[in-house]
A = this chain, B = another copy of it.
Amino acid sequence: MKYRQLILLSVLMTTIGACLAQSTVIDDFKPASSNQPNKQYPQVNSERRVKAGITAPQAQKVQLDIGGKRYDLTKDEKGLWTGISDPQDEGFHYYQLNIDGAQVPDPGSLFFYGASRWGSGIEIPAKDQDFYALKNVPHGQVREHLYFSKLTEAWRRCFVYTPPDYDKKPGVRYPVLYLQHGSGEDETGWAVQGKANLILDNLIAEKKAVPMIIVIDKGYATIPSQAAEQKAGPPARGAGGISAFEQVLIKE
Contact = CB atoms under 8 A, between A and B. Distances in A.
A60 B56 CA distance: 12
A134 B107 contact: no
Contacts of A197: 144
B107 A111 contact: no
Which of A97, A118, A197 gathers most chain B CB within 10 Å?
A118
Instruction: List the number of copies, as a whole number.
Output: 2
Given A143-B143, A144-B144, 19 more contacts: A55-B103, A56-B99, A56-B102, A57-B101, A58-B60, A58-B61, A59-B59, A59-B99, A59-B100, A59-B101, A96-B107, A99-B104, A100-B100, A107-B117, A107-B119, A111-B111, A134-B155, A136-B148, A142-B144
Nearest 5 Cβ contacts at the A-B interface: A56-B102, A59-B100, A57-B101, A58-B100, A58-B101
Interface of A: 36, 54-62, 79, 96-97, 99-107, 110-111, 117-119, 134, 136, 139, 141-148, 155, 167, 170, 197
Nearest to A139: B146
B118 A111 contact: yes
Which of A59, A100, A103, A134 gathers most chain B CB within 10 Å?
A100
Contacts of A36: 117-118
A104 B105 contact: yes
Contacts of A144: 141-144, 197
B118 A55 contact: no
A238 to B, nearest CB: 19
B104 A104 contact: yes
Contacts of A143: 141-144
